[in-house]
Amino acid sequence: MGKLTVMKYKTKRRTRDLDLIWEDLGNKESVLHLKNQPIQEDKPGLGQHYCVECSKYFESGHALVHHTKSKVHKRRLKQLKDIPYSQEEANGAAGLDLVKYQKKVLKQNERQEVQSLEKRDIDLLKTAKKNCFLNSLVDNEGEVLMV
Ligand SMILES: [Zn+2]
């Protein structure tokens, strides 16, 4: 393989970097915007089947569903759980642009708080649903109808 071919392959499958994807996932509007893209003839599947986490286009909905169950996608989800390393962090460690870094940290903490609140709400809903199901098994006098 010549030098030019190597360069071509290095950039052929290059996707967005993790920190950019992490930013994408930060607000619901950008996720919605990425999931509902206009028809683009130069993208696989006309750009209609997009995995936000992997920043990858798929030919069909079936391929996308198959992908979301795959090892590659799950590994990516795990990678995106952590806050990505950024230039601001590097500058902050060296004592440069501390105000900018502080703002970023505050924003990240806010986001994690929102996520944990959302998770708590989901958990509450789940337990409520479970209790509802258990109540339906018990009649008004408190006798168990089904075991
Ligand atoms: Zn994916």
**Domain boundaries of the chain, sorted by first residue:** 1-87, 97-147
- CA–centroid distance, 56 to ligand 1, in Å, is 7
- CA–centroid distance, 20 to ligand 1, in Å, is 15
- CA–centroid distance, 140 to ligand 1, in Å, is 48
Q: What is the pLDDT of residue 68?
A: 94
* pTM (whole model) above 0.95: no
Q: What is the pLDDT of residue 61?
A: 92
- CA–centroid distance, 4 to ligand 1, in Å, is 29
Which amino acid appears at position 62 of this protein?
H
- CA–centroid distance, 136 to ligand 1, in Å, is 39
Residue 25, phi then psi, degrees to nearest 5: -75, -10
Q: What is the pLDDT of residue 145?
A: 59
- CA–centroid distance, 123 to ligand 1, in Å, is 25
**pLDDT tens-place values along the chain, 147 residues long:** 567 666 666 777 788 888 888 888 888 888 898 888 999 999 899 989 999 999 899 999 999 999 999 999 999 999 888 888 888 888 888 888 888 888 888 888 888 888 888 888 888 888 888 887 777 766 555 566 555
- CA–centroid distance, 78 to ligand 1, in Å, is 11
Here the contacts of 23-26 (C-beta below 8 Å, separation 24 or greater) are 24/52, 24/55, 25/52, 25/53, 25/80, 26/111
Q: What is the pLDDT of residue 84?
A: 82
N- to C-terminal Cα distance for the chain?
68
3-state secondary structure of 21: helix
- CA–centroid distance, 146 to ligand 1, in Å, is 42
